[in-house]
Structure formats: structure tokens, C-alpha cells
A = this chain, B = another copy of it.
Amino acid sequence: MRDSKPVHKETHLGRVPLFDDLPGGEIQQLAKASKVVVLEKCGTLFRTGETCPGLHVVMYGQLKVAFSSTQGSEKVVDILQAGQSFGEAELLLDEPYRAHAQALCDTLVLQVAGTAILDLIARNPGFAHRLLNGMSRRLHDLMIDLEGYTLHTGAARVLTFLLREAAVQEPCNESAVVRLSAPKGVIASRLNLSPEYFSRILHDLSEQGYFAIHGRDIHIDSVSRLQLGLA
């Protein structure tokens, strides 16, 4: 992140799903109300307990959102990719963050001031609806995670995760190569597993012929076979 070429906020914002059907004027308002944050790998975007300065939108790079326990261990709640936003709930409730966010690689974030978002909600019902849909999606995904954590075994969570990744990375293919988008330790924590146990599960499943592991690439011969493994 050492080049200091000025960031053109409008074009960036216009590409984000949450904003991409907004008229140009609105985008300009948002751009004016937003701040560029440049993070290098491992840089912190916000910490637990801080109050939220606005809506975070990832332009490029990758962030992990995690809880930290008193004993230094942490639990990754979400991994944010380019185009995703974060902090809607805290913004609307004006509550401090329960988690912290850290860049997994060099990352660019725009922070849109809360007032600009609130204005937009009041002025543009279509945007409110879109925001509502985004939050619904997040709520729904969180429910799925919760179901996994409380009802499914570690191996089942790993299989489910790989299936979802395969569906995203190579839709509708019977065979797929899934590339883990983050270090195994981070994925492990995301699945609520210790790195060691995650490694063992991966090993076991590959021994059972579900897939082959090559570093961060998981080669799946038969996606439908994985699906069966869930039963």
C-alpha cells in the first residue's frame, strides 16, 4: 500500500452491490461523506468496544472480523471480501463493536459517515429496502452458522463449508478445485475448530476419498459425493 495515487471514491462506491443502482448524485453525496482507510496486512480497522465511525465498505483486500477472549484466543465470525459492507447494525443502534476487524492482506476500506446512510434511508425507500435485504441475508447466514455450531459435528461443518465454497467458486460443476481464501488457521476459527483439529479432519476426509489436499487447494472429484457425506 505504498503508492499514494488518490482514490476515486465515486467509481469505487458505484461498484459496490449495496450502492450500485443509486443515481450518480447520491453516489457523490456518499463519496463526499466517506473517508478512505488504507490498511496493510494485519492492520486493525476497529477494536472491540470502539464506537462506530460509519459504515465500512471493503473496496479491495480481505478482512477478518473476530471476537477476542480474555485469554488471547480469538474466534473469527466473518471474513469480508471486496464489495462487502460491515457495521450496519452497530451504526443503526449506535452500539460499540462486539468484535474487532483486522486486514488479512493489504486492504482498502471506505467509511461512509452514519448521517449519510441515515439520510439515504429517509430519502430513498429503494435503498432502505436494499439495506434490509442485506441485513436479512446476514441474519439468515448467521442462523445457518449457529445451526452448524450447535447441532453439527466438526467434520460436517467442514463438508458444508467446502460445498458452499465449491458452489461459489465453480458453480454447478460436478468436480471442483476449491481454493481456501485465507490461512487454514483463520478458516478453522471461522468454523469454530482449533487449527490442529481442522487439520486432522481435513486429513481424515481426504483419506476417506472425499477430496485431495494440495496446500490451500482442495481438489474435489465428486461434489455430489461430498453431499452424501453429510447424511
State the A residues within 8 Å of B (CB).
67, 69, 73, 75, 77, 88-90, 92-93, 95, 98-99, 118, 121-123, 125-126, 128-129, 131-133, 135-140, 142-147, 149-151, 192
Contact = CB atoms under 8 A, between A and B. Distances in A.
Nearest to A67: B147
Contacts of A118: 129
A99 B143 contact: yes
Contact of A135 (B123, B132, B146, B147): B132
A193 to B, nearest CB: 11
A78 to B, nearest CB: 10
B98 A143 contact: yes
B137 A93 contact: yes
A98 B128 CA distance: 25
Contacts of A90: 136, 140
A144 B192 CA distance: 15
B135 A128 contact: no
A23 to B, nearest CB: 17
Given A93-B136, A128-B129, A139-B89, A151 B98 contact: no
A69 to B, nearest CB: 5
Contact of A140 (B67, B93, B121): B93
Given A92-B136, A98-B147, 9 more contacts: A75-B151, A89-B137, A92-B133, A93-B133, A122-B129, A128-B132, A138-B139, A139-B139, A145-B146
A71 to B, nearest CB: 9
Contact of A128 (B128, B144, B150): B128
